[in-house]
Each structure stands twice: as structure tokens, then as C-alpha cells.
Amino acid sequence: MRTYGLVLESYGKYVKIKTKDGEYIIKSEKKAPKEGTKIEVKDFGKGDYLAKVVAKRPGEFEQLPAVKFIAISDKLVEKMNYKHLNLISVALALFLEELSKRIDINNALIMKLQKLLNGENLDDEDRKFERYLNLLSGRYGLKSEKGKIVFMDRKNSTFHIFLQDNKIFGKIEEGLVSSATIYFEKIPDNIQELEENLKRNFHLVAIKLLSFSEGTYV
């Protein structure tokens, strides 16, 4: 990647820039430039700012979170064993940003959320806390079990399911005829069983292999 962009915001190692192609969140060991600075960004060789791309818009998500929430979410996911950690980090940051409008994102909350994300040895109190967070999280929802994290966009009626070696995207449409379209990065062995379960709740069910173009699943 090589691009030129205008710095919109920065926090620690994380910077959000605006380019002719959209917006990026990048991570670099270099000192963050000031807001309003125009910079050249590369992920190879030498340049003004050598950095790793964390997220892009248009992309998997309709919005990008403020970079301070990416800084928090990256720490939460850094030791997790998932294929798509970057995407999980962005989803988690969006969830935290919505929560921050209603409650304080403090160390106690982050520690409890870390336990939920790990999905191990969860008790009734943990699940009550998860439900409490989802009542306060506005547009976005987040649920987890061992080996699975579910992120929901309530406004767009979409969801992402992140498994350790797979990614699933779903789109729900309600109306006189309800439908569910499910995109898999990799078709699982139990696909027929899953399809039958979905058909109990939706009139139309479509199962597809995931392909992504210009910010849209196709």
C-alpha cells in the first residue's frame, strides 16, 4: 500500500487518515502526526510514515470507530486465536464507542469484557453483564462463546460471526416475506443442518461463499 492522506485524528500508535479512496485507520511505531497534517503512508520501504493498515472505509463496516477505541480493542484481542483479529478489533471498538455514550469505559469494565471474549468458565453473572452491555450498546451488539464472537449491526440488520478459522456475514430482511442471506468464507460441514434451522424462521434462505467488492458482499 502507498497512499497520501490527511490526518483526521490520532491516539498513541493509531492514526485515522482521509484519502482519495476513503478513510484508513493505521498503526505505526512512529510518532503520530498532528491532526490536519498531510502525509505519505506506506506499508513497505521508506516513506513519511511506515504503517500497518488496521481498517478501511469503505470496507467490512459502514463506519470506522474513533482510534482511541481501536487502541483499547487491539489490547483485548492481541492474545486471541482467531484468523480475523483486525476485523474483530474494529467490531469491538465500534461496540465500545457506542457503550461510551452511556457508561464509562473503565478498567473494571474492560476486564469483565475480556473474560466474556475468552468465553471460558462463564457463569450467570457474566451472562447478566453481557446482557446489560447489549442493552446499552445502541446500534451494535456483541455476544461471545468459546471459539465464537458475534457482532451485530442493529440499524442495518446485519451480523458477523467470527470463528477461529472462518468468518460468516449475514443479512436479514423483514417484511411480508422474511429472508436471510448468509455468506461463508468457508462452507462448513453442517451446512444442510444450518440451512434447515434457518428455514424454520425465514421464508427465504440463501447460502453463499463470501466475496467482497467495493465495500459490499456479493
Q: Where are the domains positioned within the chain?
A: 2-57, 61-139
Identify residue 59 by its one-letter amino acid code.
G
Verdict on whether the full-model pTM lies above 0.85: yes
Question: What is the dotted CATH code of the domain comprising 2-57?
Answer: 2.40.50
pLDDT at site 213: 47
- In this structure, the strands spanning 140-145 and 148-153 are antiparallel
| Distance in angstroms (rounded) separating the CA atoms of residues 112 and 103 | 14
Which position has the grid cell 469484557?
113
The pLDDT tens digits for 82-102 are 999 999 999 999 999 999 999
51 neighbors 27 (Cβ within 8 angstroms) = yes
Separation of alpha carbons 73 and 25, rounded Å: 13
Torsion sign across C-alpha atoms 24, 58, 89, 71: positive
pLDDT in tens, 95-154: 999 999 999 999 999 999 999 999 888 999 999 999 999 999 999 999 999 999 999 999
pLDDT in tens, 15-61: 999 999 899 999 988 888 889 999 887 766 565 667 788 999 999 99
The string of DSSP codes covering the chain is -EEEEEEEEEETTEEEEEETTEEEEEE-SSPPPPTT-EEEEESSS--SEE-EEEEEESSSSSS---HHHHHHHHHHHTT---TTHHHHHHHHHHHHHHHHTTS---HHHHHHHHHHHHTSS--HHHHHHHHHHHHH-TTEEEEEETTEEEEEETTTTEEEEEESS-EEEEEEE-SSS-EEEEEESS--TTHHHHHHHHHTT-SEEEEEE--EETTEE-
33 - beta bridge partners? Answer: none
Q: Which residues of 12-27 are buried (b: 16+ CB within 10 A; e: fewer)?
A: ebbbbbeeeeebbbbb
